[in-house]
Amino acid sequence: MAKVFPQEMGILKHPNRKLRLVCSPVKAIDARARKEAQQMLEALRSIDTSFTLVNGLASNQVGLGSRIVVMKLGFRFITMINPVIAASAVPCFSIEVCASLPGVVRLKRRKFFVKVDYLDLDGEKKAISLLWLASFTMQQEIDHLDGKLIID
Ligand SMILES: [Zn+2]
């Protein structure tokens, strides 16, 4: 089968055991953390298409072990250090795919709204409210940081 994304950069596929790693909080936003975030952004851009509205990657999907998520939200790419779901509302179902599980589609129980607290690359505390696809993607990324996949 031809690869959908021929330039795809280093995204691990199930059953790579690093995908089961529970990632550790980032203690200091130093050169290493910034380098890891940069590597993740490059990996996310490598699977980006102009029709992708929302996408995300968690650090263990590229073999790293600290709690960093990168997301594409519309035209923005954002980096979240130590993201935590601070609030969520409205249980619903989501049909999901994952870059680490090519060809797999799963129906997941999610929340329609989430509020996420995180640090940006300058160490500033941030909060973002997400809904629908962005909320579902965020929940999948947080699951990744805890070693969980959509097949679980
Ligand atoms: Zn995923």
Q: Which residues surround ligand 1, an ion (CB under 5 A)?
A: 98, 140
Alpha helices in 1-106 (DSSP H): 31-46
Catalytic pick among 8, 36, 42, 141? 141
Chain segment 36-81, per-residue pLDDT in tens? 999 999 999 999 988 889 999 999 999 999 999 999 999 899 999 9
Architecture per CATH, 17-145: Alpha-Beta Complex (3.90)
Kindly report, residue by residue over 18-33, the tens digit of the pLDDT.
999 999 999 999 999 9
Q: How many CB atoms lie within 10 A of CB 84?
A: 14
Domain boundaries, the chain: 17-145
Whole-model pTM: value is 0.94
141 catalytic residue (yes or no): yes
Which residues make Cβ contacts (< 8 Å) with residue 122, sequence separation at least 6? 29
